[in-house]
Copies of this chain bind each other. A is one copy, B any other.
Amino acid sequence: MTSESETTEKMTAALRKAGIRVTRQRIALLGVLAEATDHPDAVELHERAKAIEPSVSLATVYRTLSVLEEGGVVHRHAFEGGGARFETTHEEHHDHILDVDTGEVIEFQSDKIEQLQDEIARELGYEVVHHRLELYCRKKT
């Protein structure tokens, strides 16, 4: 069990590392992001952050998400339909399966596919800077 103050300390450290000021709003948002496992969008993150720190505005959520993204702390995904969805950056790179019926997001990782991508790009005279692989799926019956 992580105590509230421990969590706050962790958020504070992360913000310090990113070289930006530690504010109530940013601690709240970062906390919410850390807990989330469902790739929420900005509005959803705003709702959750407000529950912790009512003064957080949607504008600040957007501004902070951009700063955190630049700092490599969060990843922004532009899945089909609706606005951008976010997740905290984790060690291993991964791609996503999206359940077209529920909107649920499942992460997966395939070295083989990554390799093939590099190969294909190389053959065409390119090198992959980053990529996007999303499988829009339905649960098998």
Interface residues of A (CB under 8 A from B): 78, 80, 97, 99-100, 106, 108, 110, 112-113, 116-117, 120-122, 124-140
Give the secondary structure class of A's interface.
Answer: strand
B contact residues around A131 at 8 Å (CB): 133-136
Given A131-B134, A132-B132; A116-B126 close (CB under 8 Å)? no
Copies of this chain in its oligomeric complex: 2
B contact residues around A120 at 8 Å (CB): 97, 108, 110, 113, 135
**Can you list 5 A-B contacts with CB-CB less than 8 angstroms, sorted by A residue number?**
A113-B120, A117-B133, A117-B135, A128-B135, A131-B134
Given A97-B121, A120-B110; A132-B136 close (CB under 8 Å)? yes
